[in-house]
Amino acid sequence: MQAMACRGTCRFGADMERTYGADILSQKDEVRTVTQQSPKTLFDKIWESHVVVAEEGKPSLLYIDLHLIHEVTSPQAFEGLRLAGRRVRRPDLTFATMDHNVPTDNPFDVRDPIAKKQIETLIQNCREFGIPLADLESPDQGIVHVIGPELGLTLPGKTIVCGDSHTSTHGAFGALAFGIGTSEVEHVLATQCLWQARPKTMKVEIYGERHPGITAKDIILGVIAKYGVGFGTGYVIEFAGPVVRDMSMEERMTVCNMTIEAGARAGLVQPDEKTFAYLRGRRFAPKGEAFDRAVEAWKQLATDEGAVYDKVLTFDVSSLVPQVTWGTNPGMCVGIHDVVPDPDSFPTEVERKAARQALAYMGLTPGMKITDIKIQHVFIGSCTNARIEDLRAAARVAKGRKVAPGVRAIVVPGSKHVKAQAEKEGLDKVFIEAGFEWRDPGCSMCLAMNPDFVPPGERCASTSNRNFEGRQGRGARTHLVSPAMAAAAAIAGRFVDVRELLDGKVALPEGGDSLGAAHSA
């Protein structure tokens, strides 16, 4: 299938780069500033600096700094513009890519007629309305929430929207980022603004000694397991505390990505020197003196001392172990050395009923050891865990070992840039030699909207963000884990503690460890 129509628009010139790097910082001044009155949270500062119209008791009209679009939730929005005779108000603040429907074994062999139509329609719409597009031939193509940060489109203090719930990922940079529906996509395309009710604010303070082998994925799964999938409903969550400060930018993206699984509107992390270092030199970030001025402005994006949140929660990572979900929502999660819980152990009838239904769907029984659960599929990818650090962690486990008999394991980089970096480091060879499939970028098995899916009744260790019924395919059974834990499951054929596997303490299927049981990768 030809996907060349907007190929030129995804290789921007200097004028376009200046637009993304400077104009997005402020629509009025070179650097957006915040008037100080009472102490404000990070969320307060971003929200209040973007309000166009506000009335007591009504939603506010917010200016949107960056609108990311993809092939699935945009077609109806563009058709609405045509029917109304409207143009895209700020095509220079809009960026498109193809990710959801893209086959990852051969991106150009799109056989599903609906997927093919959506991809072709996005090409046509971007050409007609002058929107930059990272199409299938662009070196910038990838999952929308991976390419935004790596290209420097995502910047602190921005408001960012996309027709995808995991837009919260960009909050790792101190941006207010959230998913919107198709009708809202049309509204933003037409006006560059969006009506939004002001959410409440929450701080989740993460502290304690983070032991080796405990990942950002384990931490956010642990938080959701402790407080439930609805604890963030109606809130924007700011993640704070020494553990968050010590995280890399890619780890923070994982945490903010799964804020949605806590029911929250968005997740935020205060920008700091790690943020600025990550962004320096990115294609669409400000350059030279403009970057230095931007950093000074971004340093204002910190919650003031004395600022009040609507709610504050804490989470101690000191006793956290690698996490594995057992049920059909991310809150149904336990440590690797635990057992499948008994539904009767839950405090409410609603929870007991949900647990019984989950166990029936997942084919598990109460009291079963997590380490006794065998898997047939492994998926390392998604907007949660498909960045270079994720692939390095998985490759460290895979190196010198073999995928267990009867297990199909695929690795799907989050973008072409991630794939290129991984291949430069030789990670692709590590995976291929171990028996993993090395794929092209796309959303892949996260949501089964493309040829990658889990067959009915089969079980998958997945680095994605959702384990709902049917998420990875009709009847598919999904267990959420970190990239390292997914790789360990691929090698062992069941869930194991990756730390023990690396220490040579896990018995592997015959031929599973070509370097010997005592090997530590």
pLDDT at 519: 35
Residue 111 confidence class, pLDDT cut points 50, 70, 90: confident
Work out the pLDDT band at 511, boundaries 50, 70, 90. Answer: low
Cα-to-chain-centroid distance, residue 24: 22
Using 50, 70 and 90 to split pLDDT, how confident is the model at 448? confident
pLDDT (tens digit per residue) in 77-91: 999 999 999 999 999
What's the DSSP call for residue 494?
B
Residue 165 has pLDDT above 80, yes or no: yes
Average pLDDT score over residue span 112-125: 93
Q: Per-residue pLDDT tens for 276-302?
A: 999 999 999 999 999 999 999 999 999
> What are the respective helix, strand and coil percentages of the chain, to the nearest 5?
35, 15, 45
**126 annotated ligand-binding residue:** no
Asked if residues 221 and 333 have their Cβ atoms less than 8 Å apart, the reply is: yes
pLDDT of residue 109: 86
CA atoms within 13 A on the CB side of 32: 23
Q: What is the pLDDT of residue 36?
A: 54
Mean pLDDT of 413-424: 98
Asked whether the beta carbons of 250 and 170 are under 8 A apart, the reply is: no
Q: Would the pTM count as exceeding 0.85?
A: yes
Collapse the DSSP code of 445 into the 3-class scheme (helix H, G, I; strand E, B; otherwise coil) and give the result.
helix
The percent of residues above 90 in pLDDT, for the chain, comes to 85
Give CATH superfamily name and number for 327-502.
Aconitase, domain 3 (3.30.499.10)
Is the confidence at residue 348, as pLDDT, over 80?
yes
CA 394 to CA 381: how far, in whole Å? 11
Give the class (CATH, top level) of 35-314: alpha beta
Q: Cβ distance 323 to 214 under 8 Å?
A: no
Mean pLDDT of the chain: 92
- What mean pLDDT do residues 314-340 have? 98
In this predicted structure, what is the pLDDT of residue 11?
34
Q: Give the Cα separation of 467 and 462 in Å (integer).
A: 9
Give yes or no for residue 3 having a pLDDT over 90. no
Angle between helices 216-227 and 249-257 (to 10 degrees): 30
Please tell me the predicted confidence (pLDDT) of residue 6: 35
CA atoms of 400 and 94, how far apart (whole Å): 44
CB 190 within 8 A of CB 85: no
Single out the residue of 393, 420, 494 nearest to residue 147, CA to CA.
Answer: 420
Check whether 512 has a pLDDT greater than 90: no
Could you identify the residue written with the tokens 């659960």?
Answer: 373
The whole-angstrom separation of Cα 133 and Cα 311 is: 40
Q: Closest Cα partner for 206 from 229, 223, 227, 218? A: 223
Domain with CATH 3.30.499.10 in the chain: 35-314, 327-502
| Residues in contact with 383: Cβ distance below 8 Å, sequence separation at least 6, in sequence order | 143, 144, 145, 146, 166, 169, 257, 414, 443, 446, 465
Beta carbons of 232 and 341 less than 8 angstroms apart = no
pLDDT in the model for residue 305: 96
**Residues in Cβ contact with 277 at an 8 Å cutoff, skipping those fewer than 6 apart:** none
pLDDT band at 26 (very low <50, low <70, confident <90, very high): very low
Give the bridge partners for 98, in sequence order: none
- The model's confidence at residue 10, banded by pLDDT at 50, 70 and 90, is very low
Is 90 exceeded by the pLDDT of residue 327? yes
As a whole number of angstroms, the distance between CA 144 and CA 308 comes to 33
Residue 446 known to bind ligand:
yes
pLDDT of residue 444: 84
The residue assigned the tokens 């938080």 is 223
* Residue 69 scores a pLDDT above 90: yes
460 known ligand binder: no
| pLDDT, tens digit (0-9, with 9 covering 90-100), for 234-271 | 999 999 999 999 999 999 999 999 999 999 999 999 99
110 has pLDDT over 90: no
> For 172, phi and psi rounded to 5 degrees?
-60, -20
**Residue 267, CB-side half-sphere exposure with 13 Å CA sphere:** 28
State residue 188's pLDDT score: 98
pLDDT bin (cut points 50, 70, 90) of residue 52 is very high
pLDDT at 43 over 80: yes
